[in-house]
């Protein structure tokens, strides 16, 4: 079990969640354990370095730790009360502000990569962690991965397109639901970019695969890392050039055209997927502003 | 050695290059060899199915083959003259039209993935090719990769940002050169998106790392698959908020502000990297139209 070392402090103002930071002293014994993975996250950016209470001291550096310690034991090390490890990371991630969500995304993606990629995919040998956690090197000196630069040594980032498809009449948009969604919830369609295609081609292919709707123009709107385990969600607006819906039942249970002006997250009895800071929501907000 | 089965026909009109297709009969004996990798590329899209000379026949399906056969032997199988395997794929790829470049990108990325990822990164066991070449399954039935959906089984696509940085005065842009570039050539700065960051953050980080220049607003322009081995190049315009250049010498040899209106690929004695269809060029063209 590799978990992010960043606990969450959930008893702030209603709805507000912050990351808990552990001090070096509280975790230094973990470094003796062979299962511990340590990665560098970065140095804090001081908005106004001169007014810092630390005087001339360097800004603090932050690390993430992957460990197989018991979470209850880990929480005892924190000096903060109300600290916990997220039970449903999907949901808790959305309660963080953008900067802290980025810290969490970086930690979670890189730790998930170490947990899943400890063997060299080119020769099957063991690998060692290098460059502060951002590289894994094959331990077999004969391995092809020792020559040249290849992606096998570096953490993976999977580009995903998530798109709001607009009806040719300009007043409706296409949303769908997977079987696993809570009853009545719909979201934008989404899918992994495949090798050899552009973002725009991925949007057209996924929309047609999942809903049967054909798409013309595609416009990139915004993007967001989504560390489940390591996606980069790229939000697009897509203009449909056909309207008949025929869902691919292996991926999507139901899809419909909904009125464009979604005044809130609720629309009659149908609800939209309750992402608050996600790209999904960002592009819905964007279209409502137009 | 795994090479793309798609030869190139280079003796067309000056500068024009097309993919050579091999017929099933010419390559079917390759399927008997254990080193052969076969992947499905797709079914041809007929623009006007009724006017097809094949009457009611199905449109052809295309595959890519990875093989360790000698290239001279392979070329004898082609019914086309003037057929060759690319010696400098970087350059030859740019001579293809967009559709054929996409076919080549798909074939090259997926074959490169099979060549580099034949062992399970989670447990080190061998894997088998599945789903027409788009999945590799671990042969160890106890492996964690057998439970749930994970990216270890799927081909990798690496998002890269490539950006034209615009001077605060609006009339100059920042280009750099790597040591390995031909003398006098400059290109847009570029870099891999790292886990936990957005496109826009990756642009700001890479520009500052490589040139010391700080960037404010970032605008996505266009993207292009770049199968070396499996990148997705996302072209952006970035507006600088500082102008002092301090290059990171491990990555970049030299970087300068150049006049914005690059009337051609040549600018005095300095040349720009001769990408003709790439994102690099696309964003330079885009800025010149503004
Ligand atoms: N990198 C990847 N990570 C996870 N699943 C992937 C990946 N690439 C393709 N898939 C497949 O894509 C399905 C999800 O469909 P979609 O998100 O619509 O592309 C998953 O169930 C997998 O079968
Ligand atoms: N997925 C990847 N594939 C190849 N190189 C990578 C990757 N991720 C990070 N790198 C490193 O990034 C360097 C190139 O720098 P840049 O393109 O500016 O990010 C390479 O020499 C590698 O050390
Ligand atoms: Mg899909
Ligand atoms: Mg898909
Ligand atoms: Mg999907
Ligand atoms: Mg760089
Ligand atoms: Mg980089
Ligand atoms: Mg670079
Ligand atoms: Zn190896
Ligand atoms: Zn395995």
CA distance A52 to A46: 8
CA distance B230 to B24: 27
SS3 (DSSP) at A206: helix
Ligand nearest to the CA of A206: 3
CA distance A223 to A279: 6
| Strand bridging mode A135-138 / A37-43 | unpaired
CA distance B85 to B99: 19
- CB-CB contact of A60 with A43 (8 Å): yes
| Unique residue bearing structure tokens 């975790």 | A27
- CB-CB contact of B2 with B66 (8 Å): yes
CA distance B181 to B160: 19
pTM, two decimal places: 0.89
Instruction: Convert the pLDDT of each residue in B152-163 to its tens digit.
Output: 999 999 999 999
What proportion of chain B, given as a percentage, has pLDDT over 70? 81
- CB-CB contact of A199 with A234 (8 Å): yes
Q: B276 - beta bridge partners?
A: none
For the cut 90, the answer to whether the pLDDT of residue A200 exceeds it is yes
For the cut 50, the answer to whether the pLDDT of residue A267 exceeds it is no
Please tell me the predicted confidence (pLDDT) of residue B14. Answer: 59
CA distance A87 to A68: 16
Please tell me the predicted confidence (pLDDT) of residue A283. Answer: 59
Dihedral sign computed on CA atoms, order B253, B257, B262, B266: negative
> CA nearest B114: which of B149, B156, B63?
B156
- If you compute the radius of gyration of chain B from its CA atoms, what whole number of angstroms results? 22
- CB-CB contact of A172 with A258 (8 Å): yes
The answer to whether A199 contacts B118, with C-beta atoms less than 8 Å apart, is no
The answer to whether B118 contacts A121, with C-beta atoms less than 8 Å apart, is yes
A70-84, B200-214, B270-284: the lowest-pLDDT one: B270-284
CA distance A253 to A255: 7
Q: Is the peptide bond before A229 cis (omega within 30 degrees of 0)?
A: yes
What proportion of chain A, given as a percentage, has pLDDT over 90? 47
CA distance A215 to A208: 8
- CB-CB contact of B161 with B209 (8 Å): no
CA distance A4 to B31: 46
Q: Give first-to-last CA distance, chain B, whole Å.
A: 46
Greater model confidence, B83 or A127: A127
Q: Is B148 in the pocket of ligand 1 (CB under 6 A)?
A: no
Please tell me the predicted confidence (pLDDT) of residue A75. Answer: 87
> CA nearest A70: which of A33, A19, A110, A120?
A33
For the cut 90, the answer to whether the pLDDT of residue A247 exceeds it is yes
For the cut 80, the answer to whether the pLDDT of residue B260 exceeds it is no
Please tell me the predicted confidence (pLDDT) of residue A128. Answer: 96
DSSP letter assigned to residue A113: H
Residue A266: pLDDT band with limits 50, 70, 90: very low
- CB-CB contact of A132 with A156 (8 Å): no
Mean pLDDT (chain B, rounded): 83
For the cut 90, the answer to whether the pLDDT of residue B106 exceeds it is yes
Edge-to-edge strands of the sheet including B266-267? B185-186, B270-272, B266-267
The ipTM, to two decimals, is 0.90
For the cut 60, the answer to whether the pLDDT of residue B4 exceeds it is no
Residue A259: pLDDT band with limits 50, 70, 90: confident
- CB-CB contact of B243 with B213 (8 Å): yes
**Which residue among A102, A192, A232 places its CB closest to the CB of B193?**
A232
DSSP letter assigned to residue A60: P
Residue B212, by phi and psi: left (phi above 0), alpha (psi -120 to 50) or beta? left
Please tell me the predicted confidence (pLDDT) of residue B282. Answer: 56
Annotate B14-42 with b (16+ C-beta within 10 A) or e (fewer): eeebbbbbbeeeebeebeeeeebbbbebe
CA distance A230 to A113: 8
CA distances from A155 to A35, B175, B216 (A): 19, 28, 27
Residue A55, by phi and psi: left (phi above 0), alpha (psi -120 to 50) or beta? left
For the cut 60, the answer to whether the pLDDT of residue B49 exceeds it is no
- CB-CB contact of B239 with B266 (8 Å): no
CA distances from A164 to A183, A197, A279 (A): 21, 19, 10
Please tell me the predicted confidence (pLDDT) of residue B5. Answer: 40
Ligand nearest to the CA of A160: 1
For the cut 70, the answer to whether the pLDDT of residue B222 exceeds it is yes
Probe target for ligand 1 pocket from A178, A192, A204, with the most ligand atoms within 8 Å of CB: A192
CA distances from A153 to A139, B3, B126, B145 (A): 12, 22, 18, 19
Dihedral (C-alpha) B240, B191, A194, B219: value to the nearest 10 degrees?
0
DSSP letter assigned to residue A21: P
Residue A12: Cβ within 10 Å count = 12
CA distance B109 to B133: 11
Token output for B11: 């003796």
Residue A285: pLDDT band with limits 50, 70, 90: low
The answer to whether A105 contacts B195, with C-beta atoms less than 8 Å apart, is yes
Residue B54: burial class (beta carbons within 10 Å; 0-12, 13-18, 19+): exposed
Dihedral (C-alpha) A46, A48, A54, A57: value to the nearest 10 degrees?
60
Q: B219 - beta bridge partners?
A: B237
Instruction: Convert the pLDDT of each residue in A9-62 to its tens digit.
Output: 655 565 678 888 898 989 999 999 999 999 999 998 876 655 555 556 778 899
Identify the residue among B62, B106, B196, B226 best suited for mutation to test binding to A, counting A beta carbons within 10 A and taking the highest: B196
For ligand 2, which residues put their CB under 6 angstroms from it?
A 149, 151, 154; B 158, 190-192, 206, 251
Chain B residues near residue A158 by CB distance under 8 angstroms: 151, 156-157
Probe target for ligand 2 pocket from A117, A151, A159, with the most ligand atoms within 8 Å of CB: A151
**Which residue stretches of chain A are H helix?**
24-27, 71-76, 89-93, 98-116, 199-211, 279-289
- CB-CB contact of A134 with A155 (8 Å): yes
Chain A residues near residue B108 by CB distance under 8 angstroms: 196
């Amino acid at each position: 079990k590799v978990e992010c070392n960043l606990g969450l402090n959930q008893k702030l103002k209603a709805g507000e969640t912050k990351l808990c930071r552990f001090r070096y002293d509280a975790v230094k014994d973990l470094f003796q354990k062979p299962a511990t993975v340590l990665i560098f996250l970065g140095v804090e950016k001081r908005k106004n370095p001169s007014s810092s209470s630390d005087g001339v001291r360097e800004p603090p550096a932050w690390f993430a730790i992957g460990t197989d310690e018991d979470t209850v034991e880990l929480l005892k090390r924190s000096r903060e009360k109300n600290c916990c490890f997220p039970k449903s990371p999907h949901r808790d991630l959305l309660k963080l502000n953008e900067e802290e969500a980025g810290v969490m995304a970086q930690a979670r993606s890189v730790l998930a990569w170490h947990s899943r990629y400890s063997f060299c995919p080119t020769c099957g040998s063991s690998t060692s962690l290098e460059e502060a956690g951002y590289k894994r090197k094959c331990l077999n000196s004969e391995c092809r991965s020792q020559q040249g630069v290849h992606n096998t040594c570096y953490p993976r980032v999977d580009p995903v397109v998530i798109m709001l498809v607009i009806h040719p009449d300009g007043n409706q948009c296409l949303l769908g639901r997977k079987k696993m969604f809570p009853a009545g919830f719909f979201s934008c369609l989404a899918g992994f970019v495949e090798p050899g295609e552009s973002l725009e081609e991925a949007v057209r292919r996924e929309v047609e695969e999942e809903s049967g709707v054909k798409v013309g123009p595609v416009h990139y709107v915004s993007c967001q890392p989504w560390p489940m385990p390591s996606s980069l969600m790229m939000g697009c607006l897509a203009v449909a050039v056909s309207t008949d819906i025929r869902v691919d039942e292996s991926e999507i249970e139901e899809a419909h055209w909904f009125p464009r002006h979604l005044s809130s997250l609720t629309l009659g009895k149908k609800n939209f997927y309750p992402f608050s800071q996600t790209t999904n929501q960002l592009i819905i907000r964007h279209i409502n502003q137009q």
